[in-house]
Structure 1
Amino acid sequence: MKILCANWQAADEAELEREHYPDIELILARSTNDKAASLDPAVCETVDAVINYSPTHNVAAAPTAFPKARIAVRSGVGFDNIDTAGWGARGIPACNVPDYGTTEVADHAIGLMLALTRGTSAYGTELAGHGTEGWHFSKAPLVRRHKGAIFGIVGLGRIGLATARRAAAFDMKVVFYDPHLLSGVDLSTGYERVHSLAELMARADVVSVHTPLSEETRKLLGAAAFTAAKPGLVLINTARGPIVDLDALEAAMRKGTVIGAGLDVLQNEPGDLDHPLLAAWRTREPWIANRLIVTPHAAFYSPASMRDLRLKSIEVVHAYLAEGRLTNCVNSEYLK
């Protein structure tokens, strides 16, 4: 059994994977931050499976370059950077790993909210930059009471649901929008379902994004959504950067409709720090000071989650090739 590990990210040589799956031959193709790993066509022709380890780059060869492959896997939750249609056209399942970092991402989303709405980021920044002049509770502009506030969720999947539970523990009222979720979830969880993004935006004090990236959700949080938003909104995005239109977010923040944002993901990664919104944040222009937090696509990360991700990625391949057991397939609509 031979697996091509495309866009390999770890510093080691897959010792963890080799220890747990000694019967598998792993071929590592390392990528850089700004470029997908180049692939040897001769190697591509020999592998039984392809795993893409990059959160931002696709595999550098089309599915047709892998004549022996029987399964493709995206090592992560998001599957926008795996060619689901291309693999499906060949009758090959494409899968993801949706159950490795759920708690980490949910914790991160709530952490971003708290850093903004309890001032934990602003207070430290003011003290570090201004000394005792910054020693005052008024230096954090977004502090508010959470009890009774409305926490809106876009996408109530595994991570969205985990985030909802955490928000509810702060006595926040959870409202969610997810047009693809089966009916009845709102009744079983106690969370309130709305049937349009506009309604969610109009009611929520905080909106947290947890939907996959697709053509349907690209720039979903754009000018129309922010126009519908309740003034004073705090936006959190730990899903995929292109779901939020940065230009529209900048306009909404300058207007004051959105008064704070926590972004773990950006439209381009590594982030385009010259974008006007991010440039204003970096230079601490007064209108955005202490109102934006950016983290480097790190919500998923902990040593434990990385261990789970690495082993579960191989497990998906091994279960299918060795046992015929297909898990986490994301392109079933293309398979006949």
Structure 2
Amino acid sequence: MAKIVISEFMDEAAVDHLKDRFEVVYDTTLVDHRDSLLEALADADGIIVRNRTQVDDALLSAAHGLKVVGRLGVGLDNIDMEACKARNVAVKPAHGGNGSSVAEYVLTGILLLRRQAYFSSQAMLAGDWPRQALIGREVSGCVLGLVGFGAIARETARRALALDMQVVAFDPHLPAEAPEWAGVERHASLESLLAVSDAVSLHVPLTDETHHLMDKAALNGMKHNAVLVNAARGGIVDEAALAAALREGRLAGALLDVFEQEPLPSGSVLEGVPNLVLTPHIAGVTEESNARISQMTADNVRGVLDATEVGA
């Protein structure tokens, strides 16, 4: 019987679905106990991970019989794709499973940051009535700039258009004649997009090209009353530069769901920064998306292992 190790949280129904056919080790503590994880993988045929488990050369060497990596999500920066390819290990992300969740998260963040009023609870309980100080801005008519225009960005655009926002996007990898641009204004450069956007949302993977894409120069290129949302990958935003921009009033607000180091280290440069909302890499995880992604991943891993068994 083939063995699957699951090192991070997964919908229980999908786990049970795998247990009907395979030996399953489901232990969410393994992500924080590397030695135990490698020991569990010694005779494993598959592993299912989220974004914290590092599927690197050391892990692949320990799991010498590994045939498939199931990714509960779409980001692959924690998986050494070249090493997997060299060992003929299939990598199966769950494409399309969390687009709605991320799109809703992004737009909720923009509404929150532009309206401002939702941060008044403590002041009110202290007897204040800061009504005039919390007059915010509507999203209707404002310009949403999407950096990257893949599937999740397009989900975000569709919902933003329903809110009467204007949507512009920059994606050098999507041809100008692609039909996906319908209803959206395409920008040829990041700089031109940042200059016109009232809200900017990032939708690109973390690569050498996108590392610190939003650096001091890029942040300075945004409107002073604009807001920034990053629910893509940590490292795309230069956190020190963002902290400085918010402290100096060069940006109206920001929402970060992803960080260069997760969890955040003690003494983070983001500590005490005004008009900044932080969440723990949760944009793509709702009860609904977790069920969808878990089942998709279970099916993906099952498919690879079943095919391997047939071919054996």
Same fold (TM over 0.5): yes
Aligned to 1:298: 282
* Displacement after TM superposition at 1:225 (Å): 1.1
- Report if the CA contact (8 A) 1:122-1:139 is conserved: no
- Report if the CA contact (8 A) 1:7-1:36 is conserved: no
Q: CA RMSD in A?
A: 2.5
Instruction: Choose which of 105, 108, 119 in structure 1 pairs with 2:116.
Output: 119
Question: What is the identity, as a one-letter code, of the residue corresponding to 2:9?
Answer: Q
Aligned to 2:20: 22
The 3 A distance-change label for structure 1 pair 248 and 190 is same
Please give the secondary structure, in 2, of the residue aligned with 1:95: strand
- Report if the CA contact (8 A) 2:4-2:47 is conserved: yes
- Report if the CA contact (8 A) 1:6-1:37 is conserved: no
Instruction: Choose which of 254, 263, 271 in structure 2 pairs with 1:261.
Output: 254
* Displacement after TM superposition at 1:120 (Å): 4.0
Instruction: Choose which of 205, 221, 233 in structure 2 pairs with 1:212.
Output: 205
Structure 1, unmatched stretches of 5+, are 282-287, 325-336
* Displacement after TM superposition at 1:236 (Å): 0.7
- Report if the CA contact (8 A) 1:237-1:265 is conserved: yes
- Report if the CA contact (8 A) 2:157-2:167 is conserved: yes
- Report if the CA contact (8 A) 2:198-2:226 is conserved: yes
Question: What is the identity, as a one-letter code, of the residue corresponding to 1:134?
Answer: W
Aligned to 2:174: 181
Please give the secondary structure, in 1, of the residue aligned with 2:277: strand
Question: What is the identity, as a one-letter code, of the residue corresponding to 1:167?
Answer: A
Question: What is the identity, as a one-letter code, of the residue corresponding to 1:56?
Answer: R
Aligned to 1:77: 74
- Distance in 2, matches of 1:30 and 1:72, equals 16
- Report if the CA contact (8 A) 1:101-1:301 is conserved: yes
Question: What is the identity, as a one-letter code, of the residue corresponding to 1:301?
Answer: V
- Report if the CA contact (8 A) 1:123-1:139 is conserved: no
What fraction of aligned residue pairs are identical, expressed as a percent? 31
Q: Deviations over 1:29-70 (max 9, x none)?
A: 43378x3543465643422222223x2331474323323222
Superposed counterparts of 1:15-164, under 5 Å: 16-19=14-17, 22-31=20-29, 35-39=32-36, 43-53=40-50, 55-59=51-55, 61-128=58-125, 130-131=126-127, 133-136=128-131, 138-140=132-134, 143-164=136-157
Aligned to 2:215: 222
- Report if the CA contact (8 A) 2:49-2:72 is conserved: yes
Moved over 6 A (4+): none
* Displacement after TM superposition at 1:273 (Å): 5.6
- Distance in 2, matches of 1:215 and 1:79, equals 14
The 3 A distance-change label for structure 1 pair 318 and 183 is farther
Q: Deviations over 1:193-214 (max 9, x none)?
A: 1122111111111001121222
Please give the secondary structure, in 2, of the residue aligned with 1:279: coil
Question: What is the identity, as a one-letter code, of the residue corresponding to 1:294?
Answer: L
Question: What is the identity, as a one-letter code, of the residue corresponding to 1:28?
Answer: Y
- Report if the CA contact (8 A) 2:68-2:90 is conserved: yes
Q: Deviations over 1:157-191 (max 9, x none)?
A: 22111111121112111111112224334665210
Instruction: Choose which of 265, 272, 280 in structure 1 pairs with 2:272.
Output: 280
- Distance in 2, matches of 1:110 and 1:301, equals 15
Structure 2, unmatched stretches of 5+, are none
Q: State the number of aligned residues.
A: 307
- Distance in 2, matches of 1:265 and 1:107, equals 16
- Report if the CA contact (8 A) 2:55-2:79 is conserved: yes
Question: What is the identity, as a one-letter code, of the residue corresponding to 2:246?
Answer: M
- Report if the CA contact (8 A) 1:52-1:82 is conserved: no
